[in-house]
């Protein structure tokens, strides 16, 4: 069986990607952001998994108002970095894991989750910025990545509760895989931010830190939080944080197993318009 060894949570602010690509990580504005990921880059080098299930949202890049899958799993062998208006980011192509992705699709759909199967997709900053934050600027990403895209751009978005349940279903799928793979699951997006309207620029440190506390200690309770609370407290784009609950639901304690260990926690304001949050949870014995 495959198993989840750790979950990683991080914001995906596009300006962070630009800072890396343009060599600005040492500038005073950016330095404190990247310092928060120094531990994580070393950690990932020491804990490189066989595959990463990377939960992210597409920002009207691969999908548009023409077609809006709520949950979409990438089953392709590779994914190109998307052109979001400034040319594709100068980062490696993302190698997929078609066998494991197809298995997860099979198992999770049979567990009554409606996943859209995506065989061709360019991946935007939602997926590539988290990889850059934890891997730096390698010639190739350290392992295959299975993109799991969640619609949090166009209402209706899935509830936190359903995201948490999807994570649990993914963990069950991995337990039935016939290779002993070490898999990480990453939840990305957030934390509080609003990019539009009269409240543009909204940041809520108190809400974000309480969210991190509960994500660690009471994820099932946190999963009950309704949409309106995310939007009111964390801004219209703060709804991206429901994706963190997919990663959290895949940890062993969500199925009655051992609680994960906090390996790293970081929070910083601001990066562009966004509060940056980051967490690494390691699974001990299951």
Which residues have a catalytic role annotated? 125, 193
Q: Which of 96, 273, 281, 283 binds ligand DHB (CB under 6 A)?
A: 273
Distance of closest approach, residue 129 Cβ to ligand DHB, in angstroms: 9
Residue 151 makes contact with ligand DHB by CB under 6 A: no
Please identify, among the stretches 11-19, 23-31, 46-54, 87-95, the one whose residues bind ligand DHB according to the rule CB under 6 A: 11-19
Member of 2, 13, 72, 118 binding ligand DHB (CB under 6 A): 13
Contact 239, 227 (CB under 8 A): yes
For residue 156, cis peptide bond before it (omega within 30 degrees of 0)? yes
C-alpha to C-alpha distances, 107 to 48, 61, 171, 250, nearest whole angstrom? 25, 28, 10, 14
CB of residue 191 vs ligand DHB: minimum separation in angstroms?
Answer: 9
Tell me: does residue 219 bind ligand DHB (CB under 6 A).
no
* The one among 4, 10, 12, 36 contacting ligand DHB by CB under 6 A: 12
- Binding pattern to ligand DHB, positions 228-247, x when CB under 6 A? ---------x----------
Q: Distance (Å, rounded) from C-alpha 228 to C-alpha 164?
A: 17
Decide if residue 274 touches ligand DHB (CB under 6 A): yes
Please state whether the peptide bond connecting residue 270 to the residue before it is cis, i.e. omega within 30 degrees of 0.
Answer: yes
Q: Rule CB under 6 A: is residue 58 a binding residue for ligand DHB? A: no
Does the protein bind ligand DHB through residue 15 (CB under 6 A)?
yes
Q: Which is nearer to ligand DHB, 130 or 160 (CB)?
A: 130
Q: Taking the complex as a whole, how short is the minimal distance between the CB of residue 101 and ligand DHB, in angstroms?
A: 24
Residues composing the chain: 286
Residue 97 binds ligand DHB (CB under 6 A): no
- Chain residues binding ligand DHB by CB under 6 A are 12-15, 59, 193, 195, 237, 272-274
């Amino acid at each position: 069986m495959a198993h989840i060894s750790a979950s990683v949570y991080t914001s995906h602010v596009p300006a962070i990607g630009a800072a890396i690509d343009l060599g600005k990580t040492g500038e005073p504005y950016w330095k404190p952001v990247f310092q928060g990921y120094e531990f994580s880059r070393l950690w990932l080098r020491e804990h490189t998994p066989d595959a990463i299930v990377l939960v992210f949202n597409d920002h009207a890049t691969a999908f548009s108002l023409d077609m809006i899958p709520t949950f979409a799993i990438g089953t392709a062998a590779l994914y190109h970095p998307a052109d979001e208006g400034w040319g594709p980011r100068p980062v490696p192509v993302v190698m997929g894991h078609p066998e494991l992705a197809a298995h997860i699709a099979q198992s999770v759909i049979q567990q009554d989750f409606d996943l859209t199967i995506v065989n061709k997709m360019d991946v935007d900053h939602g997926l590539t910025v988290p990889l850059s934050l934890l891997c730096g600027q390698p010639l190739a990403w350290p392992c295959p990545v299975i993109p799991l895209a969640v619609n949090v751009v166009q209402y209706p978005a899935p509830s936190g509760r359903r995201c948490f349940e999807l994570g649990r279903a993914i963990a069950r799928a991995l337990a039935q895989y016939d290779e002993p793979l070490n898999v990480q699951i990453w939840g990305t997006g957030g934390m509080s931010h609003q990019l539009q309207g009269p409240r543009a620029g909204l940041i809520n440190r108190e809400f974000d830190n309480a969210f991190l506390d509960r994500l660690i200690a009471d994820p099932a309770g946190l999963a009950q939080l309704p949409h309106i609370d995310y939007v009111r407290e964390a801004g219209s784009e703060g709804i991206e944080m429901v994706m963190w609950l997919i990663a959290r639901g895949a940890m062993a304690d969500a199925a009655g197993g051992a609680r994960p260990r906090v390996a790293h926690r970081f929070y910083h304001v601001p990066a562009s318009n966004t509060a940056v949050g980051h967490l690494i949870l390691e699974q001990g014995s299951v």
